Amino acid sequence: MTLAKLPQNAKVAVLGAGILGLTFTYFLSKYRPDIQFTIFEKQCRPGGWMLSPSLVVKDTQESIVLEKGPRTLRGVKDGTLLMIDILRQLGLQSQVEVLSKTCIANKKYILDSSREIVQVPDSIGSAVNFAKNVLFMDAKMIFGVLEEPFVKPLKDDETIEQFFKRRFGSTALTDNVMSAVIHGIYAGDVGKLSVKSVLPFLKDIEVQSGSVIKHMLKSLAKSKSKTPEEISPELQEYEELISPCAGLLELQKKLKNYPMIKLQGGMEVFPKSLATYLETNTNTKILYNSTIDSVDAITGKVNGEQFDHIRSTINSHALAKALPSTDTLVPELKSIQYASIFLTNVYTKTPSLIPKGKPGFGFLCPRYRNITQNEDALLGTIYDSDVENNVEGLFSSVKATPQEANKITIMMGGHYYSHWSIPSDGINLKIVKNVLESKLNVDLSKFNIKVIKDGEPLEVDTIKDDDLIISYNLHLHCIPQYNLGYYETKAKVDEILQHDYKLSFGGAVFGDGIGVPDCVILSFKDTLKLK
């Protein structure tokens, strides 16, 4: 898309007060304090899918954070560095918690074909067990690894499944490993997702090196030789013009020891605090409970009000509905598919939810070749209490005080819901109980189960040792799917926007990935073009 510099005292409309709309406004307001921002938000709160309500226990006044959306940031990404610096600027550095490389919460698991929880390798012993039970169950895979360096490259786009099957002669990698990884990120189907859009580096490796195996071996050799540390040009400009004392290079070095980052009060702390800052310190007004009835992306009107630029971070179908039916963007926006998630938080005071001897971050569930074999539509389970019990402050020496209570999150649905209608809440609750019993070996007969329905107040009178709290939410159309054909759709949308449109897209729909850090760095890059 083409982004032109905005005139003095410009008016900018931002569609959506999620983290992506808020960070875009923050960055641009730093460069251009003269700009007037209006953020349209359909909900009564900021944050979008970033939601961290607390379960209130009335008799003890205890508050238990239940993450309903993104809960951790992974890797030393540019967007992560920017988020942490913003938190420092907001005086919230004490909220930033990290997990070290060596703590047990970094252990990850995958269900094998017999539905046993198998650890993802972090040692020679676990690597042997993983290869035996997960990776090399298909004998073709062994020969496929040996033959992969001789497979001819293919420039054309294909699904993730097609890519791995073509290069390794087997679907073992996609069936048993990649499908699980993709479930944890996109909740999508490796048989439909575009490798060029989801894993573009693999296509680059194939075209440039001719072989994934050869590239991996070369990368291992290069990793032994140290290279000078530096930050990206975008981060350099951020330091020069927005936050001169950020020290992002030092922060980047420090975070290499901590592959996982979370916020003490839940991820929603970030958007809530950022929204308050913007309304208090910038020319920004946030219109909550505001539906977007009409958008003219050429004239720049939103609900009849004139703007110099429109930044959309909302669902592409919602935007398509607001645009004139004759707008050439409409069919492209409608073509984007979304996945829905049935998310369940489970809490008990007794340590009985996480399998003994298998602590960690949680497990992901690979796809099953026969769709009827995964009637649970299970995507994965996160061991929240293991994560919370092993954190330490990034900017302090404070460490978590381990608690006996267990808290987990079960995720179901995703692409499986495209094969049948989304089950009723009652059926999904039965499935949740089945997952607890069959996958986590929880004896539910020992518990008094208390269910908090979607939309009900998150509160209970008391929590006894034999109480099991279940809180569930159905997140409809929450994750865009980069299915085969998306790469071409994105290119077409970029081409359309070059013709007199006062519109740009932020976030996951037409960005460089669906991860929060990926979307935050996109917000910053686009402000550089508009400033």
487 and 471 inside one domain: no
Q: Tokens 């692409």 appear where?
A: 415
Q: Residue 405 falls within a domain, yes or no?
A: yes
Distance CA 403, CA 405 (A): 5
Question: Which residue(s) pair with 286 in the sheet?
Answer: 39
CATH number, domain containing residue 17: 3.50.50.60
- Local structure of residue 415 (DSSP, 8 states): G
Is residue 292 a contact partner of residue 38, using CB atoms and an 8 Å limit? no
Distance CA 363, CA 377 (A): 14
Q: What is the pTM of this model?
A: 0.93
Is residue 523 a contact partner of residue 23, using CB atoms and an 8 Å limit? yes
161 and 143 inside one domain: yes
Q: Residue 247 falls within a domain, yes or no?
A: no
Strand, helix or coil for residue 451 = strand
393 and 433 inside one domain: yes
Q: Residue 132 falls within a domain, yes or no?
A: no
Residue-wise pLDDT tens digits, 55-95: 999 999 999 999 999 999 987 899 999 999 999 999 999 99
Q: Residue 116 falls within a domain, yes or no?
A: no
417 and 510 inside one domain: no
Residue-wise pLDDT tens digits, 263-274: 999 999 999 999
Report whether pLDDT(372) > 70.
Answer: no
Task: Out of 190, 223, 256, pick the residue that ends a domain.
Answer: 223
pLDDT at 224: 54
Q: Virtual CA dihedral for 349, 62, 516, 262, nearest 10 degrees?
A: -70
Number of domains in the chain: 3
Angle (CA) 461-467-470 rounded to 5° is: 85
Report whether pLDDT(371) > 50.
Answer: no
Is residue 338 a contact partner of residue 509, using CB atoms and an 8 Å limit? no
pLDDT at 382: 97
- What's phi and psi for 348, nearest 5 deg? -150, 150
465 and 390 inside one domain: yes
Residue of 521, 72, 1, 49 lying closest to 315 (CA atoms): 49
Q: Half-sphere exposure of residue 346, counting CA atoms within 13 Å on the CB side? A: 27
CATH number, domain containing residue 371: 3.90.660
Task: Out of 463, 480, 497, pick the residue that ends a domain.
Answer: 480
Q: Residue 374 falls within a domain, yes or no?
A: yes
Lowest-confidence segment of 43-47, 105-109, 510-514 by average pLDDT: 510-514
Helices (H) and strands (E) in the chain, counts: 19, 23
473 and 459 inside one domain: yes
Determine the average pLDDT of the residues in 360-387: 84
Distance CA 83, CA 269 (A): 12
In 93-245 the beta strands, taken as DSSP E runs, fall at 96-99, 108-111, 117-119
Determine the average pLDDT of the residues in 327-353: 96
CATH number, domain containing residue 169: 1.10.3110.10
Residues across the chain: 531
CA distances 39 to 27, 236, 263, 321, 529, Å, are: 14, 28, 25, 18, 20
Distance CA 370, CA 376 (A): 13
360 and 438 inside one domain: yes
Report whether pLDDT(368) > 60.
Answer: yes
Q: Residue 4 falls within a domain, yes or no?
A: no
Report whether pLDDT(370) > 60.
Answer: no
Q: What radius of gyration do the chain's Cα atoms show?
A: 24
> Is residue 271 packed enough to be buried (19+ CB in 10 Å), middle (13-18) or exposed (0-12)?
buried
Sequence-separated (6 or more) residues with CB below 8 Å from residue 517: 73, 75, 77, 78, 79, 80, 83
- Local structure of residue 211 (DSSP, 8 states): -
Structural domain harbouring 218: 137-223
Distance CA 162, CA 192 (A): 9
145 and 190 inside one domain: yes
Residue of 300, 297, 367 lying closest to 332 (CA atoms): 297
Q: Give the residue with greater pLDDT, 206 vs 137.
A: 206
Q: Residue 288 falls within a domain, yes or no?
A: yes
What's the mean per-residue pLDDT of the chain?
91
Structure tokens at 250: 């030092």
CA distances 162 to 92, 199, 256, Å, are: 45, 13, 34
Sequence-separated (6 or more) residues with CB below 8 Å from residue 250: none
Instruction: Please count the other Cβ atoms lying within 10 Å of the Cβ belonging to residue 179.
Output: 25
345 and 475 inside one domain: yes
pLDDT at 446: 95
Residue-wise pLDDT tens digits, 220-274: 766 555 555 789 999 999 999 899 999 999 999 999 999 999 999 999 999 999 9
Quickly state the pLDDT bin for 321 (edges 50, 70, 90): very high
Strand, helix or coil for residue 186 = coil
Lowest-confidence segment of 34-43, 99-108, 131-140 by average pLDDT: 131-140
pLDDT at 134: 67
Share of the chain above pLDDT 70, in %: 95
Instruction: Please count the other Cβ atoms lying within 10 Å of the Cβ belonging to residue 152.
Output: 8
Q: Residue 353 falls within a domain, yes or no?
A: yes
- Local structure of residue 373 (DSSP, 8 states): G
390 and 494 inside one domain: no
452 and 350 inside one domain: yes
Distance CA 508, CA 528 (A): 19
28 and 62 inside one domain: no
Task: Out of 445, 463, 480, pick the residue that ends a domain.
Answer: 480
Distance CA 213, CA 367 (A): 24
Is residue 258 a contact partner of residue 103, using CB atoms and an 8 Å limit? no
